[in-house]
Structure 1
Amino acid sequence: MDLISNIKEQMNLKGMTQYKLAKNSGVPHSTMSALLKGGIKNPSVELISKIADALEVSVSTLLGEGDEGTTETDINNKLFSALKLLVDDEGFFYEEFHEDIFRAVISSINYAYLSQHTSNINKTITRFAEFFRSDEEYLESELYELKNEFNKLFNYKSLKDAILSTVEVHRKEELLLKLSEILYKHKITLPSHDEMKECDQNKPIELEDLINGDLTFRGRVLTDEEKERFLKLARAFFE
């Protein structure tokens, strides 16, 4: 992402308005407005540094120069943390977020990765697009069917799988920016890095989540096929 996108992402993640950012950074509001609108083509290091300090991030993070906060793993973790704030205990998105999630996903990551959850992905996407922009009244039975179809296609696990299957990092960055906008719109704040770290240390790990990372046995990294076999054996043990 470019400088402006990175600043806006950090603003959304921290629930900070343009006015508050200008005030906290000591940058004139007119200058901040011009920068965020793309009116300042070559902002000074001093200006970027002031904004970075106010947002409590490094200058490298705003410039996207490979700071630890810009690695693909970190982007994935931020995406997963954002998604968890929008779903219930079963991993389904709260109904008030359905339209926002739909628009964020189809305009960012390749929704073809969701095709395993429906017989005709393009037809299903078109159906939801028509539903969200329509003003017509739907029968209760139709709404119930649409809700179930949405939950089947768009849920925490399906989107997590789609994110992990997406190789284009810029698509993940686009989705992260859109999710941060959804969180800001609904006044939801992502936990800080330290809070996320503490939460991860105390929270039990789901068995299925183990196979998303590297698993080693006697110093050797298991293949995807071996991890799947391990998961099947574990499931059989507990069933």
Structure 2
Amino acid sequence: MELVEKIKEVMKSKGLTQYKLAKNSKIPHSTMSTLLNGGIKSPTIELIAKIADTLEVPVSVLLGEDELGELLTREKEELELNQKIYVLLNLVSNNGKVFPAEAHQEIFNIFGGSLFAKVPEVNLFDEWYRKYLEEGDSLYTSNEAEEKFNKFYNPATIMHRLREWKDVDFRIKERYLSKLKQLKVSLTTPSWISENDKVFQIEDLTSYQISYKGKELTSDQKQKLLKLTQALLD
């Protein structure tokens, strides 16, 4: 039995309305309505778990063992994909905060017009930026244009959107990753490399002292970072 039909069946047995289920699950009513009307093709395990908890049934009752296994596998794959995109965005950016000016057009070509398709403020910027790239804009200097770009397109805003964009086709994220790997701009030299170093070998990564958010990475964490970086570049 499909997920939506099973949820409705249990709702009926529990005497719960759609409004009450949404309220008790702390799920926006609009989201619940979209789900129960078949508008969410790939609901997350987090969303289903909230509903199952409110209905007081195991998640497997709503999904079935096979479907639950497939969903967990898909979410694991999506998490790994997000991590790969995160690493590449940080390699291209300046200290993980903003992208260098020479990367702006390529970053926009990857994410512009699709990643923030339903965000009005960004949509207005996208429209302006396309014209700016084609015709220029006498109202703004190049530095001002770069500031406007960095407001909407930086590693933090992109990753936040990717994580929150629950109903995105997995293939779209794979396409983002593929295009990031093909960027023509040079990857930013990692911040843990001194200015005196002329060449950095990826294989030597674990021999450096690396910190993240003020905490030094352990040997195991550096090994994981090395393997992930190698996988991205292979």
Q: What TM-score results when the alignment is normalised by the length of structure 1?
A: 0.44
Q: What TM-score results when the alignment is normalised by the length of structure 2?
A: 0.45
- Point out which structure has higher relative CO (alpha carbons under 8 A, 6+ apart): 1
